Structure 1
Amino acid sequence: MRILCSARVWSTLACARSRRLLSRNPVQAYNTRAFHDSLPALLRVDPHRRSLQDPIFKDTIFALATPPGKAGVAVIRISGPAVQDVWRLMISSPNKEGLTQNQSEKLPQPRQMVLRDIKVPSLNGDGEIIDQGLVVYFAAPKSFTTEPLLEIHTHSSTAVISKVLSSLAQINGCRPAERGEFTKTAFMAGRMDLTEVEGLKDLIDAETEGQRKLARGLAGGDHRIRYEALRTDIIHAMAIAEALIDFGEDDNIGDEVFEQARDKAKELCRVMEGHLNDSRRGELMRSGVKISIFGPPNAGKSSLLNHLSQRDAAIVSPIAGTTRDIVSVALDLDGIKVILSDTAGLRVTEDQIESKGIAKAEAEVVLSDIRILVLSLPVFAYPWTQPQEYLRPVIDLVDPERTIVLFNQSDLLPSSFSIPARVPSASDPALTSISVSTEISCTPKALAERIVHEFLPRGTKIWVGSLEEKDDGLERFLTDGLGKSVKMMFETGQGGSGEESPLITHQRHRHHLQKSLHHLQSFLAEPPSNIILATEYLRLAAREIGKVSGREIGLEDVLDRLFGEFCIGK
């Protein structure tokens, strides 16, 4: 049975016809003339002012605000005009408090926790007690949604939560909330803008300290202020251009006024280009830095993945080709989220299944932000017969800007040993076989440097260590090699942003900022004679920035700027 949302309102619907219309389809009935004609004069609404946002027709939404499952406390949130009916029908005072019936039906003081019985809804108040918990009321508009809001804190068990939610569904006008509907209600009411909504979502999803800090600034309005500053500067330039259109002929406002707008637009272009050339720091901080481990078989790639993840995430075997698919783990590296992927060993093979794994590995490496090439150092020590064949499958994937090389298994070599002295052949100095001459003394570090000099691109960063021994070389690779490579991607001071966090944190932000920059550049390309078209480009640029925060540009913005900063004298 559905319990009426407000008996007082329903009792005023004097005509049975209006009851029938409303019960069939409330939304359709509300927009029909027959329904409004059947209402008493007190409830009739001007047809030009009818809105589904009117309290008596707006849904009250409810949802579980905490993760489902067994826990100490579950929080169920209810928002909307029927909050008082929920309180009256489902919440009652424990007998020990000695409150009268009238007192117990009144909503408590806002923002004060009270101990109450949560019951199955009943008009006469004799419903079954579901649980006893704390209830807090937030009065409109000082709530998250700006509507009357109630939070019920119960014991978190499947049975209790299910019974409370099903009981709420029995109250007329109450329905389960859709995904994100509480936040959407807050946004529609002006409680937050789109960047703050995105920040709230990112804060909930944050896994690392860096993500938390970035999301907190976004949810706290820091980015809204910065975007609004850009938008305000564009409107300022547009106000100058509007003044030239409206008053240029009467007041002899010359080209120097137009130049002021151009100077403002040039500065805005410089700032926007700086934000756009930020190496995607904000997006990477949110989604995580993609790091791929690649190299020939049996070099220690899976062992490195297991060492970094501190668990056996990948199978380690001396059999070449053990890893055939991509194995990925998410890690927190000094507050930065990284997605570390182990790939199949790269070599020439006729095995069709292994070939597919190698193709996937190459594609993964190409898309990664940082590449770790793991090589077995003893392979190059002796005999030096085919180093070029060992490196041929991987050398095209070595990008000195994004690749760090770990020469593994250095513990299998002595501290000093002899190798043949070799020089690259003239026909193919990168990868062809090398003539043998006299032997020279060498160390593991010197051998690694020689390999880079003779086979790998210049500027490639190398480290020598042992995953088996976990020596100092491996620790230096993790801290000075991998750690610094990740941190360099998030160094402040890029893009003219100083010590501020990156402005762009979502692809949507980048899209609108790029379009705004394009409109500003179009404005700069127009001569003063096309002032009307040029001004329209400024309007479009401001609108794109407004779309980031969900705010559209209006005439009032231009008028306020125009009359606030220009003394036209008329």
Structure 2
Amino acid sequence: MAMIPRTIASVSTPPGLSGVAVIRVSGPEAGSVATGLAGRLPPPRRATLATLADPRSGEPLDRGLLLWFTAPHSFTGEDVLELQVHGGRAVVAAVLDAALAIAGVRPAEAGEFTRRAFENGRLDLAEVEGLGDLLRAETQAQRRQAYGLFAGRLTSEADRLQAKLLPILAQVEATIDFPDEGDVTGAALDTARRELIALREEVTALLASADRGERVRDGVTVAIAGPPNAGKSTLLNALARRDVAIVSPQAGTTRDSLEVHLDLAGAAVVLVDTAGLRETADPVEAEGIRRTRQRIAGADLTLWLTAGDPVDRAPTGPGAVWLVQTQIDRETPALPSVVHRISAVTGEGMAGLVAALTSFAADRTGGEPAIIVRQRHRLIVEELSEALGGALAVGDWDAEPELVAERLRQGLAALGRARGRVGTEAMLDRLFSAFCIGK
């Protein structure tokens, strides 16, 4: 006998003083909460003004709006009640406590509303991921990309690729099942192979957008590096427009990396202030220098700062490196090969540096919102690409159609995981626990 899920309730708006707060209830007893607090069940999908009273004592608690959504036409796919009440802490606490006093109602856990939407087929896993990114979006680029994922761009793309792959697989399997049929010919297999080559090219192009999608979501990383006392922390504070890092003439003040998140014309940029690179016997500073080298190696861009020292120690690696001469307010001579000359104290040269950083971030995050925005998506498409490549690697499709068909089925299985119906419980637990209680 299937268990009836218990009804859950939670505040869905942030804590603190506000004009309106929303309390959400989902499950079979949501209607009982409405009748218990308001004395009646409101008509579906119509905002209804009512006095809310404690069902235990009859004491009026607040006047608010009720919104009633019947299953399966709700966010969670269950009966859902939303109460819009005044946002004072005492009001919210009293109304929530009264809702939880109804038999069969318990407090919701983190992400439980969204998890029920997933389990009831209202959202697939990619859409859940998009919703999570949408709630955390800090820049316009992140918002656009997250909304595309939430609106089903990855799901639609997986469906489109599946619609192209299925006829190819059907043609190959027809060779296995009906080898003597006249319409199953080598020419048909040649056509299927050409279609598969074109499909794999589409998958390769899709993978090429993965780096851009992850940069939009996580931010373009810019490491500020250089020898001690080159002005790294001063530059970080100037770019952040607040005192984030301690500035001191004493070498080795910065022992670990500091991060600041910026919004540059809609693109997320993560500035990383690093420890000064030098030889040291101090084990704590040495550990900071080791971590600095790691951050530089993984950065999209390194600003290598120098106040007049030789620049031959500037790092080389996969990311871009700009040589930046600092402290030019001290009238130091211009160094060769520098990209920017700045004074974070007077502001000279800072506008040009910020404009260049904005352009750099836009080049790596601009364009249409990416479809692949998470490592999970990348792995799915990489597995699909590998499966299609394995099928194309079979030299004679007439002789080994079973092997070709197996590779194509592996590709279809990978596409099926885009929706998240195939996965581990632990992965789902991690995903939904990142949501707030009321979502």
TM-score of the aligned structures, taking structure 2 as reference length: 0.89
1:24 is aligned to none
- Choose which of 74, 82, 92 in structure 2 pairs with 1:161: 92
TM-score of the aligned structures, taking structure 1 as reference length: 0.70
Contact 1:210 1:336 in 2 (8 A): yes
Residues in 1 aligned to 2:214 and 2:278: alpha-carbon distance in whole angstroms:
34
Contact 1:193 1:550 in 2 (8 A): yes
2:412 is aligned to 542
Q: Which amino acid aligns with 2:292?
A: A
1:507 is aligned to 375
Tell me whether 1:479 sits opposite 2:349 in the alignment.
Answer: no
Superposition deviation, residue 80 in structure 1: 1.8
Q: Aligned pair count?
A: 420
Contact 1:448 1:464 in 2 (8 A): no
Task: Show CA shifts across 1:197-256 (max 9, x none).
Answer: 111111101011110111111111223212211121111211222232333412252112
- Choose which of 316, 320, 324 in structure 2 pairs with 1:402: 320
2:290 is aligned to 359
Superposition deviation, residue 279 in structure 1: 5.7
Residues in 2 aligned to 1:216 and 1:147: alpha-carbon distance in whole angstroms:
24
Tell me whether 1:337 sits opposite 2:205 in the alignment.
Answer: no
Give secondary structure in 2 for the equivalent of 1:58: coil
Superposition deviation, residue 368 in structure 1: 1.9
| Distance change (3 Å), C-alpha of 1:491 and 1:210 | closer
Residues in 2 aligned to 1:236 and 1:60: alpha-carbon distance in whole angstroms:
45
1:490 is aligned to 365
Superposition deviation, residue 309 in structure 1: 0.2
Residues in 2 aligned to 1:491 and 1:337: alpha-carbon distance in whole angstroms:
11
Residues in 2 aligned to 1:402 and 1:299: alpha-carbon distance in whole angstroms:
19
Q: Which amino acid aligns with 1:502?
A: A
Task: Show CA shifts across 1:511-538 (max 9, x none).
Answer: 1111111111111122322212321221
| Distance change (3 Å), C-alpha of 1:58 and 1:322 | closer
Q: Which amino acid aligns with 1:51?
A: A
What pairs with 1:214-363 in structure 2 (closer than 5 Å)?
Answer: 214-278=145-209, 280-363=211-294
Residues in 1 aligned to 2:301 and 2:381: alpha-carbon distance in whole angstroms:
27
- Choose which of 110, 117, 129 in structure 1 pairs with 2:44: 110
Residues in 2 aligned to 1:400 and 1:218: alpha-carbon distance in whole angstroms:
29
| Distance change (3 Å), C-alpha of 1:488 and 1:119 | same
Task: Show CA shifts across 1:122-146 (max 9, x none).
Answer: 4xxx622222211111223322122
Unmatched tracts of structure 1, length 5 or more: 1-49, 93-104, 380-386, 415-442, 453-461, 493-499, 553-570
Superposition deviation, residue 285 in structure 1: 1.0
Tell me whether 1:413 sits opposite 2:364 in the alignment.
Answer: no
Segment drifting more, 349-358 vs 222-231: 349-358
Residues in 2 aligned to 1:85 and 1:279: alpha-carbon distance in whole angstroms:
47
Superposition deviation, residue 163 in structure 1: 2.8
Tell me whether 1:60 sits opposite 2:7 in the alignment.
Answer: yes
Segment drifting more, 314-323 vs 194-203: 314-323
Task: Show CA shifts across 1:411-469 (max 9, x none).
Answer: 3337xxxxxxxxxxxxxxxxxxxxxxxxxxxx72xx323xx7xxxxxxxxx22222232
Task: Show CA shifts across 1:63-104 (max 9, x none).
Answer: 111112222221111112222211222213xxxxxxxxxxxx
Q: Which amino acid aligns with 2:341?
A: V
Give secondary structure in 2 for the equivalent of 1:135: strand
Residues in 1 aligned to 2:318 and 2:257: alpha-carbon distance in whole angstroms:
23
Task: Show CA shifts across 1:496-521 (max 9, x none).
Answer: xxxx3212111111111111111111
Residues in 2 aligned to 1:173 and 1:252: alpha-carbon distance in whole angstroms:
62
Unmatched tracts of structure 2, length 5 or more: 423-439
Residues in 1 aligned to 2:229 and 2:206: alpha-carbon distance in whole angstroms:
43
> Over aligned residue pairs, what C-alpha RMSD do you find?
2.1
2:344 is aligned to 467
Superposition deviation, residue 479 in structure 1: 0.9
Q: Which amino acid aligns with 2:363?
A: M
2:401 is aligned to 531
Contact 1:240 1:261 in 2 (8 A): yes
Residues in 2 aligned to 1:247 and 1:312: alpha-carbon distance in whole angstroms:
74
1:561 is aligned to none
Residues in 1 aligned to 2:345 and 2:93: alpha-carbon distance in whole angstroms:
53
Contact 2:261 2:270 in 1 (8 A): yes
- Choose which of 29, 36, 53 in structure 2 pairs with 1:89: 36
Give secondary structure in 2 for the equivalent of 1:322: coil
Contact 1:375 1:408 in 2 (8 A): yes
Q: Which amino acid aligns with 1:244?
A: T
Percent identity reads 38
Contact 1:324 1:354 in 2 (8 A): yes
1:44 is aligned to none
Residues in 1 aligned to 2:421 and 2:12: alpha-carbon distance in whole angstroms:
28
Contact 2:154 2:418 in 1 (8 A): no
Residues in 2 aligned to 1:159 and 1:153: alpha-carbon distance in whole angstroms:
14
1:74 is aligned to 21
Give secondary structure in 2 for the equivalent of 1:250: coil
| Distance change (3 Å), C-alpha of 1:316 and 1:51 | same
Q: Which amino acid aligns with 2:381?
A: L
